[in-house]
Amino acid sequence: MIRVCGDGISDPQNSASGASAPTRISMIDICENNFAATRASLETSSTSEAIDVLQEIEKLLAWTYAQRQHALVAVAGKVSQSETRGPNRPAISDVKSDEVACALNITANNARNLVANARVFVGQLPQTLNLLATGTISEYKARIVCEGFSHLLTLAEVKPTDSETIALLATKFQNRVLGRIETRTAADLRRLVRQTIARLVPAHFARNHQVAKCERKVFLSPAPDGMAYFNAFVTELEAARMMNVLEKIARDPHLMPGAETDSTDLPNKMADILVGLVTGDIGATDDRLNELAQVQVVVSLETLLGASQNPGEIVETGGLLSATSVRELATTSRLRRLIVDPTDGRLLEFGRTTYRPPQPLRDKIIARDRHCRAPGCNRPAIRCDLDHRIAWQDDGHTGESNLFALCRRHHILKTVHGHRYRTDSKANVIWQTPSGREYETSPPPVLLDPPPVLLDPAPF
Protein backbone atom coordinates (compact mmCIF):
# COMPACT_ATOMS: atom_id res chain seq x y z
CA MET A 1 0.00 0.00 0.00
CA ILE A 2 1.25 3.49 -0.81
CA ARG A 3 0.11 6.93 0.30
CA VAL A 4 0.61 10.47 -0.96
CA CYS A 5 3.42 12.26 0.86
CA GLY A 6 4.55 15.76 -0.04
CA ASP A 7 5.62 15.85 -3.68
CA GLY A 8 5.28 12.13 -4.23
CA ILE A 9 4.07 8.80 -2.79
CA SER A 10 5.51 7.23 0.31
CA ASP A 11 6.02 3.57 1.05
CA PRO A 12 4.78 3.03 4.63
CA GLN A 13 6.71 -0.25 4.93
CA ASN A 14 9.98 1.67 4.95
CA SER A 15 8.74 3.80 7.86
CA ALA A 16 7.63 0.72 9.76
CA SER A 17 11.05 -0.88 9.33
CA GLY A 18 12.74 1.97 11.12
CA ALA A 19 13.81 4.15 8.23
CA SER A 20 14.37 7.74 9.30
CA ALA A 21 12.07 9.11 6.54
CA PRO A 22 9.60 7.54 4.16
CA THR A 23 10.83 6.84 0.65
CA ARG A 24 9.12 9.12 -1.83
CA ILE A 25 8.07 7.60 -5.11
CA SER A 26 6.36 9.77 -7.71
CA MET A 27 3.35 8.53 -9.63
CA ILE A 28 5.36 9.08 -12.80
CA ASP A 29 7.96 6.59 -11.56
CA ILE A 30 5.27 4.02 -10.83
CA CYS A 31 3.73 4.40 -14.29
CA GLU A 32 7.18 4.36 -15.93
CA ASN A 33 8.07 1.09 -14.21
CA ASN A 34 4.76 -0.51 -15.14
CA PHE A 35 4.83 0.58 -18.77
CA ALA A 36 8.54 0.15 -19.55
CA ALA A 37 8.15 -3.46 -20.69
CA THR A 38 4.90 -2.69 -22.44
CA ARG A 39 6.47 0.14 -24.42
CA ALA A 40 9.30 -2.11 -25.55
CA SER A 41 6.84 -4.79 -26.71
CA LEU A 42 4.93 -2.25 -28.83
CA GLU A 43 7.67 -2.40 -31.46
CA THR A 44 6.76 -6.01 -32.28
CA SER A 45 3.09 -6.03 -31.36
CA SER A 46 0.19 -6.37 -33.77
CA THR A 47 -2.18 -3.50 -34.48
CA SER A 48 -4.81 -5.10 -32.27
CA GLU A 49 -2.35 -5.48 -29.36
CA ALA A 50 -1.22 -1.86 -29.74
CA ILE A 51 -4.86 -0.77 -29.63
CA ASP A 52 -5.27 -2.68 -26.35
CA VAL A 53 -2.37 -0.71 -24.86
CA LEU A 54 -3.72 2.57 -26.20
CA GLN A 55 -7.13 1.91 -24.65
CA GLU A 56 -5.59 1.01 -21.30
CA ILE A 57 -3.59 4.24 -21.29
CA GLU A 58 -6.78 6.21 -22.00
CA LYS A 59 -8.44 4.47 -19.05
CA LEU A 60 -5.49 5.41 -16.85
CA LEU A 61 -5.77 9.04 -17.94
CA ALA A 62 -9.49 9.02 -17.12
CA TRP A 63 -8.82 7.47 -13.70
CA THR A 64 -6.18 10.11 -13.01
CA TYR A 65 -8.60 12.90 -13.91
CA ALA A 66 -11.20 11.41 -11.56
CA GLN A 67 -8.72 11.33 -8.68
CA ARG A 68 -7.84 14.92 -9.44
CA GLN A 69 -11.42 15.95 -8.64
CA HIS A 70 -11.23 14.32 -5.20
CA ALA A 71 -7.86 15.98 -4.53
CA LEU A 72 -9.16 19.41 -5.52
CA VAL A 73 -12.13 19.07 -3.19
CA ALA A 74 -9.84 17.87 -0.41
CA VAL A 75 -7.80 21.06 -0.78
CA ALA A 76 -10.57 23.58 -1.43
CA GLY A 77 -13.53 22.04 0.40
CA LYS A 78 -16.92 20.92 -0.83
CA VAL A 79 -18.40 24.42 -0.75
CA SER A 80 -17.02 27.85 -1.51
CA GLN A 81 -15.53 29.61 1.51
CA SER A 82 -15.29 33.40 1.81
CA GLU A 83 -13.06 35.50 4.00
CA THR A 84 -14.87 38.35 5.78
CA ARG A 85 -13.11 41.71 5.74
CA GLY A 86 -13.76 45.18 7.06
CA PRO A 87 -15.68 47.97 5.28
CA ASN A 88 -12.56 49.21 3.47
CA ARG A 89 -11.28 45.74 2.63
CA PRO A 90 -13.70 43.75 0.46
CA ALA A 91 -14.31 40.09 1.18
CA ILE A 92 -12.56 37.47 -0.98
CA SER A 93 -14.74 34.63 -2.20
CA ASP A 94 -13.50 31.06 -2.45
CA VAL A 95 -10.23 31.74 -0.66
CA LYS A 96 -9.22 28.06 -0.70
CA SER A 97 -8.93 28.04 -4.50
CA ASP A 98 -5.90 30.33 -4.19
CA GLU A 99 -4.07 27.45 -2.53
CA VAL A 100 -4.75 25.41 -5.67
CA ALA A 101 -3.51 28.25 -7.86
CA CYS A 102 -0.20 28.35 -5.98
CA ALA A 103 0.25 24.59 -5.93
CA LEU A 104 -0.40 24.15 -9.65
CA ASN A 105 1.20 27.43 -10.75
CA ILE A 106 -1.93 28.59 -12.55
CA THR A 107 -4.02 31.74 -12.44
CA ALA A 108 -6.63 32.30 -9.76
CA ASN A 109 -9.40 32.22 -12.36
CA ASN A 110 -8.24 28.86 -13.69
CA ALA A 111 -8.03 27.50 -10.17
CA ARG A 112 -11.56 28.67 -9.35
CA ASN A 113 -12.88 26.95 -12.49
CA LEU A 114 -11.08 23.71 -11.64
CA VAL A 115 -12.41 23.77 -8.09
CA ALA A 116 -15.95 24.62 -9.20
CA ASN A 117 -16.02 21.67 -11.61
CA ALA A 118 -14.55 19.35 -8.99
CA ARG A 119 -17.28 20.30 -6.52
CA VAL A 120 -19.92 19.53 -9.16
CA PHE A 121 -18.38 16.12 -9.91
CA VAL A 122 -17.87 15.06 -6.30
CA GLY A 123 -20.98 16.58 -4.77
CA GLN A 124 -23.58 16.40 -7.54
CA LEU A 125 -22.52 13.99 -10.30
CA PRO A 126 -21.23 10.85 -8.55
CA GLN A 127 -22.45 8.54 -11.35
CA THR A 128 -20.45 10.49 -13.90
CA LEU A 129 -17.38 10.55 -11.67
CA ASN A 130 -17.62 6.78 -11.21
CA LEU A 131 -17.73 6.20 -14.98
CA LEU A 132 -14.66 8.41 -15.26
CA ALA A 133 -12.79 6.56 -12.53
CA THR A 134 -13.42 3.19 -14.21
CA GLY A 135 -12.25 4.49 -17.58
CA THR A 136 -15.68 4.05 -19.15
CA ILE A 137 -15.68 7.67 -20.34
CA SER A 138 -12.90 10.11 -21.13
CA GLU A 139 -12.02 13.36 -19.41
CA TYR A 140 -13.46 15.24 -22.39
CA LYS A 141 -16.86 13.54 -22.17
CA ALA A 142 -16.94 14.01 -18.40
CA ARG A 143 -16.33 17.74 -18.83
CA ILE A 144 -19.18 17.96 -21.36
CA VAL A 145 -21.53 16.42 -18.78
CA CYS A 146 -20.24 18.65 -15.97
CA GLU A 147 -20.46 21.86 -17.99
CA GLY A 148 -23.93 20.91 -19.21
CA PHE A 149 -25.23 20.28 -15.70
CA SER A 150 -23.72 23.54 -14.44
CA HIS A 151 -25.49 25.35 -17.28
CA LEU A 152 -28.75 23.60 -16.35
CA LEU A 153 -28.51 24.89 -12.77
CA THR A 154 -27.76 28.40 -14.05
CA LEU A 155 -30.61 28.29 -16.57
CA ALA A 156 -33.08 27.05 -13.94
CA GLU A 157 -31.78 29.63 -11.43
CA VAL A 158 -31.42 27.01 -8.71
CA LYS A 159 -29.91 28.35 -5.51
CA PRO A 160 -26.77 26.55 -4.24
CA THR A 161 -28.55 25.93 -0.93
CA ASP A 162 -31.50 24.15 -2.60
CA SER A 163 -29.91 20.71 -2.29
CA GLU A 164 -33.17 18.84 -2.88
CA THR A 165 -33.81 20.40 -6.28
CA ILE A 166 -30.15 20.01 -7.26
CA ALA A 167 -30.23 16.31 -6.37
CA LEU A 168 -33.45 15.77 -8.32
CA LEU A 169 -32.10 17.53 -11.39
CA ALA A 170 -28.78 15.67 -11.13
CA THR A 171 -30.52 12.30 -11.04
CA LYS A 172 -32.77 13.03 -14.01
CA PHE A 173 -29.94 14.66 -15.96
CA GLN A 174 -27.51 11.77 -15.47
CA ASN A 175 -30.13 9.10 -16.15
CA ARG A 176 -30.71 10.72 -19.52
CA VAL A 177 -27.21 11.60 -20.71
CA LEU A 178 -25.20 8.65 -19.36
CA GLY A 179 -27.10 5.96 -21.28
CA ARG A 180 -24.74 4.33 -23.81
CA ILE A 181 -22.33 7.21 -23.24
CA GLU A 182 -19.29 5.04 -23.95
CA THR A 183 -20.41 4.55 -27.58
CA ARG A 184 -21.44 8.15 -28.25
CA THR A 185 -19.17 10.65 -29.92
CA ALA A 186 -18.48 13.91 -28.12
CA ALA A 187 -20.71 15.73 -30.62
CA ASP A 188 -23.54 13.26 -29.96
CA LEU A 189 -23.11 13.79 -26.23
CA ARG A 190 -23.18 17.58 -26.57
CA ARG A 191 -26.36 17.30 -28.61
CA LEU A 192 -27.94 15.01 -26.01
CA VAL A 193 -26.94 17.35 -23.18
CA ARG A 194 -28.59 20.29 -24.97
CA GLN A 195 -31.72 18.22 -25.58
CA THR A 196 -31.89 17.10 -21.97
CA ILE A 197 -31.55 20.63 -20.61
CA ALA A 198 -34.35 21.83 -22.89
CA ARG A 199 -36.56 18.92 -21.83
CA LEU A 200 -36.00 19.29 -18.10
CA VAL A 201 -36.72 23.03 -17.99
CA PRO A 202 -38.51 23.85 -21.26
CA ALA A 203 -39.99 27.14 -20.05
CA HIS A 204 -36.58 28.42 -18.95
CA PHE A 205 -35.05 27.31 -22.26
CA ALA A 206 -37.73 29.16 -24.25
CA ARG A 207 -37.33 32.30 -22.14
CA ASN A 208 -33.55 32.38 -22.52
CA HIS A 209 -33.84 31.80 -26.26
CA GLN A 210 -36.04 34.88 -26.58
CA VAL A 211 -33.57 36.90 -24.52
CA ALA A 212 -30.61 35.65 -26.59
CA LYS A 213 -32.37 36.61 -29.83
CA CYS A 214 -32.22 40.22 -28.74
CA GLU A 215 -28.40 39.99 -28.94
CA ARG A 216 -28.25 39.03 -32.64
CA LYS A 217 -25.73 41.09 -34.59
CA VAL A 218 -23.15 41.17 -37.37
CA PHE A 219 -19.57 42.19 -36.64
CA LEU A 220 -16.18 42.31 -38.33
CA SER A 221 -12.92 40.90 -36.94
CA PRO A 222 -9.64 41.83 -38.69
CA ALA A 223 -7.27 38.98 -39.56
CA PRO A 224 -3.65 38.86 -40.83
CA ASP A 225 -2.60 39.11 -44.49
CA GLY A 226 -5.30 41.52 -45.57
CA MET A 227 -8.17 39.21 -44.56
CA ALA A 228 -11.06 39.54 -42.11
CA TYR A 229 -13.77 37.45 -40.44
CA PHE A 230 -17.35 38.45 -41.24
CA ASN A 231 -19.34 37.16 -38.28
CA ALA A 232 -23.05 36.86 -37.65
CA PHE A 233 -24.68 35.99 -34.33
CA VAL A 234 -28.14 34.71 -35.30
CA THR A 235 -30.52 31.92 -34.33
CA GLU A 236 -29.34 28.42 -35.12
CA LEU A 237 -32.29 27.91 -37.45
CA GLU A 238 -31.35 30.92 -39.57
CA ALA A 239 -27.69 29.91 -39.54
CA ALA A 240 -28.65 26.46 -40.85
CA ARG A 241 -30.78 28.04 -43.58
CA MET A 242 -27.92 30.28 -44.69
CA MET A 243 -25.44 27.39 -44.77
CA ASN A 244 -27.87 25.37 -46.88
CA VAL A 245 -28.16 28.20 -49.43
CA LEU A 246 -24.38 28.67 -49.66
CA GLU A 247 -23.57 24.97 -49.95
CA LYS A 248 -26.29 24.16 -52.50
CA ILE A 249 -25.25 27.01 -54.79
CA ALA A 250 -21.56 26.18 -54.35
CA ARG A 251 -22.18 22.58 -55.39
CA ASP A 252 -24.34 23.63 -58.34
CA PRO A 253 -23.56 27.22 -59.46
CA HIS A 254 -26.21 26.96 -62.20
CA LEU A 255 -28.84 27.35 -59.48
CA MET A 256 -28.10 31.06 -59.25
CA PRO A 257 -27.05 33.46 -62.03
CA GLY A 258 -23.58 34.90 -61.45
CA ALA A 259 -22.57 32.30 -58.82
CA GLU A 260 -19.70 30.79 -60.85
CA THR A 261 -16.28 31.26 -59.20
CA ASP A 262 -12.72 30.38 -60.17
CA SER A 263 -12.15 28.31 -57.03
CA THR A 264 -12.53 24.52 -56.91
CA ASP A 265 -12.54 24.43 -53.10
CA LEU A 266 -16.05 24.21 -51.60
CA PRO A 267 -15.41 26.52 -48.60
CA ASN A 268 -13.84 29.10 -50.95
CA LYS A 269 -16.89 28.94 -53.20
CA MET A 270 -19.25 29.39 -50.26
CA ALA A 271 -17.33 32.48 -49.11
CA ASP A 272 -17.46 33.97 -52.63
CA ILE A 273 -21.20 33.30 -52.90
CA LEU A 274 -21.86 34.91 -49.50
CA VAL A 275 -20.10 38.07 -50.65
CA GLY A 276 -21.99 38.01 -53.93
CA LEU A 277 -25.39 37.62 -52.29
CA VAL A 278 -24.77 40.41 -49.76
CA THR A 279 -23.31 42.86 -52.29
CA GLY A 280 -25.87 42.05 -55.00
CA ASP A 281 -23.33 40.69 -57.49
CA ILE A 282 -25.31 37.42 -57.63
CA GLY A 283 -28.81 37.70 -59.00
CA ALA A 284 -31.13 36.01 -56.50
CA THR A 285 -34.88 36.08 -56.01
CA ASP A 286 -36.62 35.69 -52.68
CA ASP A 287 -38.52 32.65 -53.95
CA ARG A 288 -35.30 30.94 -55.07
CA LEU A 289 -33.51 31.66 -51.81
CA ASN A 290 -36.47 30.38 -49.75
CA GLU A 291 -36.43 27.14 -51.73
CA LEU A 292 -32.70 26.62 -51.21
CA ALA A 293 -32.87 27.59 -47.53
CA GLN A 294 -35.17 24.74 -46.49
CA VAL A 295 -34.09 22.87 -43.37
CA GLN A 296 -35.46 19.83 -41.58
CA VAL A 297 -36.88 20.10 -38.08
CA VAL A 298 -37.80 16.95 -36.16
CA VAL A 299 -40.79 17.62 -33.92
CA SER A 300 -43.48 15.59 -32.21
CA LEU A 301 -47.13 15.88 -33.14
CA GLU A 302 -47.91 16.70 -29.50
CA THR A 303 -45.67 19.78 -29.68
CA LEU A 304 -47.31 20.97 -32.91
CA LEU A 305 -50.75 20.59 -31.32
CA GLY A 306 -49.70 22.46 -28.17
CA ALA A 307 -50.04 19.42 -25.90
CA SER A 308 -46.29 19.29 -25.17
CA GLN A 309 -43.49 21.81 -24.62
CA ASN A 310 -40.91 19.43 -26.06
CA PRO A 311 -38.50 21.36 -28.33
CA GLY A 312 -37.88 20.56 -31.97
CA GLU A 313 -34.45 19.59 -33.30
CA ILE A 314 -32.75 21.12 -36.36
CA VAL A 315 -31.41 18.12 -38.28
CA GLU A 316 -28.57 20.00 -39.99
CA THR A 317 -26.97 21.26 -36.77
CA GLY A 318 -28.51 19.31 -33.89
CA GLY A 319 -29.69 22.63 -32.43
CA LEU A 320 -33.01 23.05 -30.66
CA LEU A 321 -36.10 25.17 -31.22
CA SER A 322 -38.45 25.96 -28.38
CA ALA A 323 -41.99 24.59 -28.69
CA THR A 324 -43.31 28.13 -29.18
CA SER A 325 -40.85 28.77 -32.02
CA VAL A 326 -41.77 25.46 -33.64
CA ARG A 327 -45.47 26.29 -33.61
CA GLU A 328 -44.79 29.77 -34.99
CA LEU A 329 -42.66 28.25 -37.73
CA ALA A 330 -45.39 25.76 -38.61
CA THR A 331 -47.83 28.58 -39.36
CA THR A 332 -45.50 30.24 -41.87
CA SER A 333 -43.64 27.30 -43.44
CA ARG A 334 -44.56 24.37 -45.61
CA LEU A 335 -44.53 21.06 -43.72
CA ARG A 336 -43.61 17.76 -45.31
CA ARG A 337 -44.99 14.67 -43.62
CA LEU A 338 -43.12 11.38 -43.68
CA ILE A 339 -45.62 8.66 -44.58
CA VAL A 340 -45.17 5.48 -42.55
CA ASP A 341 -46.77 2.07 -42.31
CA PRO A 342 -49.56 2.43 -39.70
CA THR A 343 -48.94 -1.09 -38.37
CA ASP A 344 -45.38 -0.53 -37.14
CA GLY A 345 -44.54 3.12 -37.76
CA ARG A 346 -41.81 2.35 -40.31
CA LEU A 347 -41.42 4.21 -43.57
CA LEU A 348 -42.61 2.04 -46.43
CA GLU A 349 -39.74 0.27 -48.21
CA PHE A 350 -39.15 0.93 -51.89
CA GLY A 351 -37.56 -2.49 -52.51
CA ARG A 352 -35.66 -2.84 -55.77
CA THR A 353 -37.91 -0.64 -57.86
CA THR A 354 -35.42 2.24 -57.61
CA TYR A 355 -31.74 2.70 -56.71
CA ARG A 356 -31.92 6.35 -55.68
CA PRO A 357 -33.98 6.85 -52.49
CA PRO A 358 -37.14 8.90 -53.11
CA GLN A 359 -37.17 12.21 -51.24
CA PRO A 360 -39.53 11.08 -48.42
CA LEU A 361 -37.26 8.09 -47.72
CA ARG A 362 -34.14 10.26 -47.92
CA ASP A 363 -35.68 12.72 -45.46
CA LYS A 364 -36.45 9.90 -43.04
CA ILE A 365 -32.88 8.48 -43.16
CA ILE A 366 -31.37 11.95 -42.64
CA ALA A 367 -33.71 12.62 -39.71
CA ARG A 368 -32.83 9.24 -38.18
CA ASP A 369 -29.04 9.33 -38.61
CA ARG A 370 -28.40 13.11 -38.30
CA HIS A 371 -24.71 12.55 -39.17
CA CYS A 372 -22.32 10.03 -40.73
CA ARG A 373 -22.74 6.69 -38.95
CA ALA A 374 -19.04 5.79 -38.93
CA PRO A 375 -17.54 5.97 -35.42
CA GLY A 376 -16.28 9.41 -34.46
CA CYS A 377 -17.57 11.17 -37.61
CA ASN A 378 -19.90 14.14 -37.22
CA ARG A 379 -20.46 15.24 -40.81
CA PRO A 380 -24.18 16.12 -41.08
CA ALA A 381 -26.25 13.43 -42.77
CA ILE A 382 -27.74 15.99 -45.16
CA ARG A 383 -24.23 16.33 -46.63
CA CYS A 384 -23.51 12.59 -46.69
CA ASP A 385 -24.07 9.78 -49.19
CA LEU A 386 -26.84 7.31 -48.43
CA ASP A 387 -25.03 3.99 -48.57
CA HIS A 388 -26.68 0.69 -49.45
CA ARG A 389 -25.31 -1.55 -46.67
CA ILE A 390 -25.92 -4.54 -48.92
CA ALA A 391 -24.83 -3.28 -52.32
CA TRP A 392 -27.44 -2.81 -55.03
CA GLN A 393 -25.56 -5.21 -57.33
CA ASP A 394 -25.74 -7.84 -54.56
CA ASP A 395 -29.56 -7.59 -54.46
CA GLY A 396 -29.58 -4.94 -51.75
CA HIS A 397 -32.87 -3.06 -51.60
CA THR A 398 -33.58 0.67 -51.29
CA GLY A 399 -35.23 0.91 -47.90
CA GLU A 400 -34.81 2.21 -44.38
CA SER A 401 -33.16 -0.96 -43.06
CA ASN A 402 -30.51 -0.98 -45.82
CA LEU A 403 -29.68 2.74 -46.14
CA PHE A 404 -27.30 4.56 -43.81
CA ALA A 405 -25.65 7.97 -43.99
CA LEU A 406 -21.91 7.82 -44.70
CA CYS A 407 -19.71 10.76 -45.56
CA ARG A 408 -17.76 10.38 -48.78
CA ARG A 409 -14.55 9.39 -46.98
CA HIS A 410 -16.17 6.60 -44.96
CA HIS A 411 -18.22 5.52 -47.97
CA ILE A 412 -14.94 4.99 -49.85
CA LEU A 413 -13.36 3.22 -46.86
CA LYS A 414 -16.32 0.83 -46.77
CA THR A 415 -16.44 0.25 -50.52
CA VAL A 416 -12.73 0.05 -51.32
CA HIS A 417 -10.52 -0.22 -48.23
CA GLY A 418 -11.85 -3.15 -46.24
CA HIS A 419 -14.04 -1.39 -43.67
CA ARG A 420 -17.38 -3.15 -43.07
CA TYR A 421 -20.47 -2.69 -40.98
CA ARG A 422 -23.56 -4.56 -39.94
CA THR A 423 -26.75 -3.32 -38.28
CA ASP A 424 -29.49 -4.47 -35.92
CA SER A 425 -33.22 -3.89 -35.67
CA LYS A 426 -32.70 -0.62 -33.75
CA ALA A 427 -30.57 0.90 -36.55
CA ASN A 428 -27.40 0.56 -34.47
CA VAL A 429 -24.30 0.30 -36.68
CA ILE A 430 -21.47 -2.06 -35.76
CA TRP A 431 -18.44 -0.80 -37.70
CA GLN A 432 -15.51 -3.16 -38.30
CA THR A 433 -12.04 -1.90 -39.25
CA PRO A 434 -9.46 -3.96 -41.22
CA SER A 435 -7.75 -4.84 -37.90
CA GLY A 436 -10.89 -6.76 -36.90
CA ARG A 437 -11.91 -4.28 -34.20
CA GLU A 438 -15.59 -3.42 -33.90
CA TYR A 439 -17.13 -0.11 -32.81
CA GLU A 440 -20.85 0.51 -32.31
CA THR A 441 -22.73 3.72 -33.07
CA SER A 442 -26.37 4.45 -32.31
CA PRO A 443 -28.73 6.90 -34.01
CA PRO A 444 -29.17 10.05 -31.92
CA PRO A 445 -32.33 10.01 -29.80
CA VAL A 446 -35.44 11.72 -31.11
CA LEU A 447 -37.28 14.10 -28.81
CA LEU A 448 -40.66 12.42 -28.87
CA ASP A 449 -41.40 11.53 -25.25
CA PRO A 450 -43.09 14.19 -23.07
CA PRO A 451 -40.63 16.35 -21.08
CA PRO A 452 -40.55 16.12 -17.29
CA VAL A 453 -41.31 19.75 -16.41
CA LEU A 454 -39.67 20.31 -13.03
CA LEU A 455 -39.58 24.04 -12.47
CA ASP A 456 -41.65 27.09 -13.26
CA PRO A 457 -39.84 29.91 -15.05
CA ALA A 458 -38.58 32.73 -12.91
CA PRO A 459 -40.07 36.16 -13.62
CA PHE A 460 -38.15 38.54 -15.82
Task: List Cβ neighbours of 194 (8 Å cut-off, separation of 6 or more).
Answer: 148, 318, 319, 320
Q: What is the pLDDT at residue 447?
A: 52
Q: Are strands 312-314 and 320-321 parallel, antiparallel or unpaired?
A: antiparallel
In the prediction, which pLDDT does 121 show?
Answer: 95
Instruction: Outline where 252-338 has alpha helix (H).
Output: 266-279, 286-292, 301-304, 323-332
Q: What is the pLDDT of residue 313?
A: 77
pLDDT of residue 45: 80
pLDDT at residue 427 in the model: 84
Q: How far apart are CA 243 and CA 296, in angstroms?
A: 13
Strands (E), 153-265: 217-223, 227-233
What integer pLDDT is reported at residue 287 of this predicted model?
67
pLDDT, averaged per 10 consecutive residues of the chain (460 residues), comes to 45 49 62 72 82 88 94 85 57 70 85 92 94 93 95 90 91 91 85 88 86 90 87 89 86 79 82 84 69 71 75 75 79 57 46 56 82 85 86 76 88 87 87 87 63 43
Burial 293-311 (b: 16+ CB within 10 A, else e): bebbbbbbeebbeeebbbb
pLDDT the model gives residue 351: 46
The secondary structure element, H or E, covering residue 421 is strand 420-423
pLDDT score recorded for residue 384: 87
360 within 8 A of 339, measured Cβ to Cβ: yes
Say what the pTM is: 0.69
Q: Name beta bridge partners: 86.
A: none
Domain edges within the chain: 234-292
The confidence score (pLDDT) of residue 1 equals 38
Amino acid 291 reads E
